[in-house]
Chains A and B, each alone.
Chain A
C-alpha cells in the first residue's frame, strides 16, 4: 500500500480538463510544499511535470498545473490531448525520524 493515495484511474475526452488527487497526511503533503508530479508512458522513464506543488520545469506544457489544499495535492490537465494518456505519480517529502520520500500508487489516465 502506497504512502500517498491516488485514484487508480481517471478518464476524459479530448479538450476536457481532469484532476488527479494525491492524498497524504500532516507529516508529508500537508506539512511541506515539496510535492512533485510525474508522467510515465509505457516502458518509458517518468517525466517531471510539477515540483514544489505548483512549479513547472522549463518545457512542460502550461496545460499541466498543480495545487494543494490541506493534506491533498492535485494535478490538473486542461485541454486534454491523446498524448496525455499515461500513468501519473505524485511524490512528497515526509518528515519523520528519518526524512524520506513517499510516492503515490499512480493513476492511469485514459483519453476517451
Chain B
C-alpha cells in the first residue's frame, strides 16, 4: 500500500527558505506514471496547489509561487522535495504531498505537516 510522509522544520523565520521532503513507501516514484504533488492549506482555509513533478524531472508550478519555488525528486531516495524561498506569514500552512496526474486526481495523500512562518 502506497504511503506518503512529509517531513521538515515546523518553524521558519520570515525571509528564509522553507524546505520540505515527502518520502514515498510501498511504491516507486519512477514506476507508476504518476506525478508527485505539493498542496498546502492555511489553517482554517481552503486548498492551494503548489506544484507537481514527474520522476524524470518535468515540473509544473503555481504561477503565483513560481518565482520562489523549486520542486525536485530523487529516484534513489524515493523522495521528492519542495523549497520555497523568501517566506512570509502568508506561507504558514499545512503542507501535504500527494500522488496524482499532472493537474488533478490526487488519490493518495500524506497526513500533512504544519509549517509556521514566524520570528
Question: How far apart are A49's CB and chain B's nearest CB, in angstroms?
Answer: 10
Instruction: Mark interface residues in A5-31 (1 if CB within 8 Å of B CB, else 0).
Output: 000000000000000000000000000
List which B80-119 residues lie within 8 A (CB) of chain A.
96, 101-107, 109-112
Question: How far apart are A47's CB and chain B's nearest CB, in angstroms?
Answer: 8
Question: How far apart are B14's CB and chain A's nearest CB, in angstroms?
Answer: 24
Partner of B47, one of A46, A92, A99: A46
What class of interface size applies to chain B in its complex with A? 20 to 34
- The reply to whether B107 and A99 form a contact with Cβ atoms under 8 Å apart is no
Which residues does chain B contribute within 8 Å of A93, judged by CB atoms? 103-104
**Sampled A-B contacts (15; CB under 8 Å):** A2-B46, A36-B106, A45-B96, A45-B111, A46-B106, A46-B109, A48-B106, A51-B105, A91-B47, A99-B60, A99-B103, A103-B47, A103-B48, A105-B46, A106-B46
Binding site for B on A (CB under 8 A): 2, 34-36, 38, 45-48, 51-52, 57, 89, 91-93, 96, 98-106
